[in-house]
Structures are given as C-alpha cells and as structure tokens.
C-alpha cells in the first residue's frame, strides 16, 4: 500500500475535518441515489464510477473516508489537521491526494490552507548505528 501524509496548520482543524467528511459523504450519497434511479429506469443500468467512497465516518478529532481504491484518514491536534492517504497504486493515490487538497483548498481559502503531501521515508531495514 502506498501512502502520503500532510500536516495542515489551522486554528480550526475539527471544523475542516467535519466539513470535508460531510461534503464527501453528501457527494457519495447523491451519486449513489442517481445511479440507483438510472439503474431502475434505464434498460442498460448505470455503470459504477471507480473510486467512489464507500464509507465515511468522523468525530471531532478523527475521520476516515474509505474509497474503492484507497482511503484517507484525518486526525486533529491543537493547531493542525493531519492527513494520511493510502492507495494500492500511484494513480489512485494521486487522485485521492488531489481530491482532498482541492476540497480543503476551497473550504479553507479564507484561512489560506495549503496541503503539502509528503511520502514517508522508506525503512531500509538496516540498524541505525551499523558500524
């Protein structure tokens, strides 16, 4: 599983966590309802869009959005929102990162929120003090 992390400084991390989760949940539920209606009323049925969230849950301090192709986890701390994106391949990871960064950039425009993704350093398996 590929991962990327971002640390977004903000005085309102809980607000942005909830706003992001609510927004994605609303989009998914609307898309699911539209697909259901299309499938029920069309002869060919609707085609599923890959990567749609299948599960969204959140509290004031933690949130998780699980997509068909990966997930994003969020955690608040005083003055920051920490994000962790996970996906099976580079393209899926990029899509998740772009989605989250775009939404937070739009929601946090007045607060000048910026999301800078970092890939975690790979553990080489060598002892720290070899030698």
**Alpha helices, H only, the chain:** 13-41, 90-107
The closest alpha carbon to 2, from 76, 79, 97, belongs to 97
Domain limits at 7?
2-107
In a domain, 33, yes or no: yes
Q: What is the pLDDT of residue 49?
A: 42
For 59, other C-beta atoms within 10 Å of its C-beta total: 11
Q: What is the pLDDT of residue 126?
A: 54
Domain count, the chain: 1
**Which residues neighbour 23 within 8 Å (Cβ) at sequence distance 6 or greater?**
103, 107
Question: Which CA distances in Å does 56 have to 117, 120, 124?
Answer: 21, 24, 34
In a domain, 44, yes or no: yes
What's the pTM value of the predicted model, to 2 decimals? 0.77
In a domain, 117, yes or no: no
In a domain, 115, yes or no: no
Q: What is the pLDDT of residue 45?
A: 41
Q: What is the pLDDT of residue 86?
A: 97
In a domain, 35, yes or no: yes
CATH number at residue 10: 3.30.310.50
Q: Which tens digits make up the pLDDT trace of 88-109? A: 999 999 999 999 999 999 999 9
Low-confidence ranges of the chain (pLDDT < 50): 40-50, 130-131
In a domain, 119, yes or no: no
């Amino acid at each position: 599983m590929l991962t990327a992390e971002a640390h977004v400084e903000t005085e309102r991390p809980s607000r942005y966590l909830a706003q992001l989760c609510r927004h994605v949940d609303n989009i998914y539920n609307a898309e699911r309802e539209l697909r259901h209606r299309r499938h029920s009323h069309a002869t060919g049925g609707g085609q599923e869009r890959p990567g749609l969230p299948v599960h969204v849950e959140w509290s004031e301090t933690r949130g998780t959005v699980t997509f068909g192709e990966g997930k994003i986890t969020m955690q608040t701390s005083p003055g920051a929102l920490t994000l962790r994106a996970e996906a099976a391949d580079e393209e899926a990871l990029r899509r998740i990162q772009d989605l989250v960064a775009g939404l937070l950039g739009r929601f946090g425009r007045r607060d000048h929120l910026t999301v800078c993704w970092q890939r975690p350093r790979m553990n080489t398996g060598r002892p720290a003090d070899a030698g």
